[in-house]
A and B are shown apart, each in its own frame.
Chain A
């Protein structure tokens, strides 16, 4: 029983990880606490649902939803965030809150506020894994999430653009001196953040179904996970997400599913209480 809870917890956790990665990526490169990150995914899920119901396959629906979300994220940058780039982080957060409102309103207007079911792209039948029963879908989801995480990691580590992104994170001024095209990189950041959001929306949709508010609690968990990495570290965020997935599944199994969100808050607080700079944070910060 416990092992089973852990296993399916890892599956949901890996989906939170996608949201958390998008959050950390955008925060690192733009100082933005993006409240709309979840709703990017929500919008993508609706687009995918539309595509599916108009007869497109899962692959086509996924591609369409990714393209749409990239578009939204980049537009958000070009129309809103770009103009306040140098403002206080508080202002940046507020602007994303405005976008959150708009995305919520537009999706409610286009598709209604009721919850819609989303077909499961993966087979449901359970298989045995090290003595625990787990649905094939969960395994697929986990594998996909890890492949994506791995791709993102490889992209940041080895590609020219990824290296430039990391340089930007270290020191914007230095990066500009080194001839790194900051403007392009920031657009790229939002695009990659959008891809992460679209994927997490698409993969979560069969589990939590589709509605304008579907990603609200996922957003909270994504941020709780990001706190594990002190908001800066991607491995920290992934670990945090997996941990939250497992912990809430265990707590849900024993206490009741209603308390899952409270658990995310409890973890944020515990994390801040014992190691406020995150598991992988720390070191001296530049002060004066």
Chain B
């Protein structure tokens, strides 16, 4: 794929995935560049979540999943890396905000603590820094001992982003992070993405075409075939994919001719 400039952080080569006998994802070869936002778009069931969950090996939690092909993080085969270490490097924000039933502080401190950090001052620093980066600090700084579940949906999602940032990942995967949020909360998350991309490589799944066009630098379009298997149809800089798609299917999808 010629258009990806700069260092490539994630790469899949002929990557394929089956749920039991069902092939959910056909050979996918694609490079995800460093410090850019890459959007994954496509109709429901085309394998967007399946694809993004590859990079932190979340699919392994599902019994009966098989994969083929290669997936590289900075040139290293992720299936050879220690999965716990991989997931520290590749963080994930889920579609439905999922803060733990703990305080705001404990939610953010959860990762660092699990990785062995005990020092209270250091933890407090990390919590503040992460909440600031997630643009949540000003709203919660006086109430860090409140339950994370008591926040609004948009705040909960930013708390989950802060929780992910606290373990200092290099890549952040986001599976429709704004689909459960109202437009204002969505806008906040989108702004946040722009500041985060300076430090992180971001891969975001979205159903919302405008959102993909607004926030991303690169766009990958997936589509199902007659067997409901997902195929990568087109991948390139967002501006090019949206204004001058090479594939007829992409054009049809983007112009809303089917959903």
Q: Do A and B come from one complex?
A: no
Which A residues are closer than 8 A to B by beta carbons? none
